Amino acid sequence: MSESTVLIGLMCRLEAATSRLEDMAQATIDPTAGVSGGLVAPAPGAALVRQGAQSAPIPPAQAPPPPEPLPRAIEDFGGLINGDVQKYVSLSEGLGGLVAEQAQAVSRAFSAQRKFLVITTKAKKPDIASPTYMEILTDLQKQMGTVNDIREANRGSPLFNHLSTVSEGITALAWVTYEPKPANYLIEILESAQFYGNRVLKEYKEKDQKHVDWVQSFYQIFRSLTDYVKHHYNNGVTWNNKDGVDAKEALKQVESSRSSVVTPAPASGGAPPPPPPPPPLPNFQETPPATAKSSEGAMDAVFEQLSKGEAVTAGLKKVDKSQMTHKNPSLRATAPVPSRSESTGSVSSSRAKSPAPPGKKPKPESMRTKKPSKKELSGNKWFIENHENASEPISIDVDMSHSILISKCSNTTLRINGKATAISIDNSPRLSLIIDSLISVVDIVKSPNFAIQVLGTLPTILLDQVDGATIYLSKESLTTEVFTSKCTSVNINVPPEDDSGDYRECPVPEQFKSTIKNGQLITEIVEHSG
């Protein structure tokens, strides 16, 4: 074979190899024209053909349906959660402990309220007294109750003012049940939270800026929430009464879909206007009165003299025994006791004045002027005061936005109709209270011989300095938590399993035994038998 023939054969083989490489490169760049696993990729819409055999056609993939667009009100509420609420949660995590734990419950409460608002866009408004309406609010009530429980279970915490600020403020989420003008309710709740929040500002203003920033971030949530409510729900929550489904069905739809997950606010185009800047902080650095300043300086001078030790008596004159009046009675008969001005050469003509008599003791409670009785609703708070020996039960109608303050009511029966937020009672002996349900807590202070009957649900009862208390629970309130402090003769009555039985009385233990084990204080209830 000649060299030219060999050369031609090599050239043909090289061209064939080059062609194959080009085909492989083209298949790598264009996936619709390559070969993979023995399949020859056809043109779009054609059937796939395996070398030597034909397979069934594969339909083109369908794109997932676009998510259902959310109403603007829901998007803006999600922006509030991802903005102001998330900032408050982050600052709470910086403080840690109970503050961070409570902040997580606040975040869950806002998420529960967002779910409620989503339901209102899909459903017709149910009857407020219906079980369906209460079921829709169950999640929100549970998280609000958790926020308050953290506060009540940690009254001895050094950050109690922090916990109280949030516990007072979280009741603002009940605005969804308030109409008309729910923004007014939010403003009042913010003022209640500021009662404790301003204490935190005053304590930490010069000590730790983190606590100051934390308080301001919590205030900002409710300023932004007030603006949001004014913009979207100025006259109260609106429902989809025209095209909506049943509320229970809407609840199932929301819980089974991913639309109830909080989504970030739109990056541009639809963001709500920024809220107004917060008002300036009150000036806690008030100038102390002049008398306090001078007395403080006088005490500093006293301690400065005492710090000299024995040198403090170096300038005193030694008195001879012949000049001592207690050793020479004749001196007491002939001369008055010298005054402080004797060192200047003059002697006081009279003895020093005796101290002024102590001020009069306050009159006993029974002798004081009796104030007029009071029962009024101011904003969202009921005030019941100075009722004594009422011949008929005092009845009030409440809703979920109301809180009740009871003070100085003796030998009186109160009937609370409906479901309120919380009840606070002080200095009310022999008070009997009948309630339907509460969202958070009944707080009783210095009210001996107190009695309460719960017909519905009640998360918490707090008793402080109460001598003699009787609590009647319903079957729905068997999960109620009772906290006692400095209390005696407290009895909890548990309902029978069937209607034919009687209540079973359970006394709350009063005697405890404390021992030290492995360096730890162990406290146990002392059980009595016999």
Contact criterion met (CB below 8 Å) for 170 and 147: yes
pLDDT tens for 445-493 read: 999 999 999 999 999 999 999 999 999 999 889 989 999 988 988 999 9
Contact criterion met (CB below 8 Å) for 276 and 223: yes
Determine which of 60-74, 287-301, 414-428 has the lowest per-residue pLDDT on average: 287-301
Instruction: For the domain covering 72-260, report its CATH number.
Output: 1.25.40.330
Report the alpha-carbon distance of residue 147 to residue 169 in Å, rounded. 10
Q: Which residue spans of the chain are classified as CATH 1.25.40.330?
A: 72-260
Report the alpha-carbon distance of residue 26 to residue 118 in Å, rounded. 52
pLDDT band, very low/low/confident/very high, at 262 (cuts 50, 70, 90): very low
CA distances from 133 to 119, 126, 138, 182 (A): 11, 6, 9, 19
Residue 177's pLDDT is 85
pLDDT band, very low/low/confident/very high, at 405 (cuts 50, 70, 90): very high
pLDDT tens for 263-317 read: 444 444 444 555 555 444 444 343 344 444 444 455 556 556 555 555 656 666 6
Structure tokens at 142: 């549970």
Rounded mean pLDDT of the chain? 77
> Which distant-in-sequence residues (6+ apart) come within 8 Å of 354 by Cβ?
none
Q: Which of 18-22, 209-213, 332-336 has the highest mean pLDDT?
A: 209-213
CA 209-211-217 angle, 5° bins = 105
Q: Please, what is the angle between helix 182-204 and helix 209-232, to 10°?
A: 170
Residue 94's pLDDT is 92
pLDDT tens for 102-144 read: 999 999 999 999 999 999 888 888 888 788 888 888 889 899 9
Q: Which residue spans of the chain are classified as CATH 2.160.20.70?
A: 371-525
Q: Which of 36-50, 246-260, 426-440, 493-507 has the highest mean pLDDT?
A: 426-440
Residue 475 CB neighbours (<10 A): 9
pLDDT tens for 367-400 read: 456 688 899 998 888 999 999 988 889 999 998 8
Report the alpha-carbon distance of residue 253 to residue 262 in Å, rounded. 16
Name which residue leads in pLDDT, 160 or 527: 160
Contact criterion met (CB below 8 Å) for 178 and 153: no
pLDDT band, very low/low/confident/very high, at 93 (cuts 50, 70, 90): very high
Name which residue leads in pLDDT, 412 or 14: 412
**pLDDT(41) > 90:** no
Report the alpha-carbon distance of residue 210 to residue 92 in Å, rounded. 9
Domain 371-525: CATH class, spelled out? mainly beta
Partners of residue 365 on adjacent β-strands: none
**Helix or strand or coil: residue 75?**
helix
Report the alpha-carbon distance of residue 165 to residue 197 in Å, rounded. 5
* Reported pTM: 0.44
Is there a cis peptide before residue 275, judged by omega within 30 degrees of 0? no
Report the alpha-carbon distance of residue 473 to residue 493 in Å, rounded. 6
Report the alpha-carbon distance of residue 183 to residue 292 in Å, rounded. 43
**Phi–psi pair at 126, nearest 5 degrees:** -80, 170
- Torsion of Cα atoms, 453 then 139 then 379 then 120, to 10°: -130
Report the alpha-carbon distance of residue 297 to residue 420 in Å, rounded. 52
